[in-house]
Structure 1
Amino acid sequence: MRSVKFMRAAKTSYIVLSALYCVFGVLLIAVPDFSMKLLGILVGCMMIGFGAVKLMGYFSRDLYRLAFQFDLAYGILLIVLGLIVLVRPVQLVSFFCLVLGICILADGLFKIQAASDSKRFGLRPWWLILTLAIMACLAGLLLVFRPMDGARALLVLLGIAMLAEGILNLCVACSMIKIIRHQQPDVLDAEFYEKRG
């Protein structure tokens, strides 16, 4: 039997950080006069945290392997970008909005593929994940191209994108990460002997 503690920790962390993304997104939409330095520090920490959770999820080997299938490289990328943002939080506001927009767009595209795969697995909420993934892609594109000028508009766009990403990840965590208590390991450890005569 395989221990499910690591999988449960990955799923719980994924849900908690997704909820934090939602809360932070709503906060940015409601209060767009946020301190740029504090914003850079918070976004950098959240990127590092989410990168670590994605790595943990990738190595947890959940049952369907849909939620974390692309998260090895993506988790490392988030950690590196989060560290860059933490080093210069004020000077890189425009940079981290661009980077976060690209990351949200990429994650949305990965989740579109995961939704397609979950349809083949017979998971019912595949259409909801597909819809939310498309919305996250659009929010990421808005953040990258920034059709509105000004710091307040940029922070509202950042809030919308983070809210969309948080909702998408919450839905993915709740519907795609399945933990089976008596899950068998991937490789059976056994010895076979040929019987003669």
Structure 2
Amino acid sequence: MKNDQTAPFWQLFTMGAVTLAFGIAVVVQPDATLRLLGVLAGAWLLVIGLMRLVGALDRKQGLTQQILDGALGVILIVVGVTCLRDSAQGIIALSVIIGLAWLLSGFAALLVGLLARGRARLALFGLAAASILVGMVFLLWPEPSVQALVLLTGITALVLGTAEMVVALQWRRTDRHLIAH
């Protein structure tokens, strides 16, 4: 009789093995990973730009919104094509996007902190300062920031993949022990 618990073991073990392989690939070839990220950023910006242009043709919007969507669409398409032609530019664009996201998050936390009271206010100010600092690092040193992010992603995948495989093996061992008794 087949054990119904073997499927979860193999699923978890396979996920762990794939995650581990991904981590190894990223750690062994970080430059290739960065180039791929640059190309993906370019494709993403190109698609978003095209969608903005399509949105600009929507006559249900006001003229101002159509002009803004159209202008932003053209800018995003130009940046996207530039990234696709030179993946290093995609890496810088990705870093700028990440940096701006951190900055905006920091400024939002700062604004919420101004409205808060007590310990929450201090925590929000700390969060705002950290977010703004990280955003500035990504904007001032784009390539090293993304390189560090890629390396951390690879290391994290190595750790998580190994942990998933260990948990799967322990689960299988425990499951066999329960079935035997």
After TM superposition, the score normalised by the length of structure 1 is 0.36
Whose radius of gyration is greater, 1 or 2?
Answer: 2
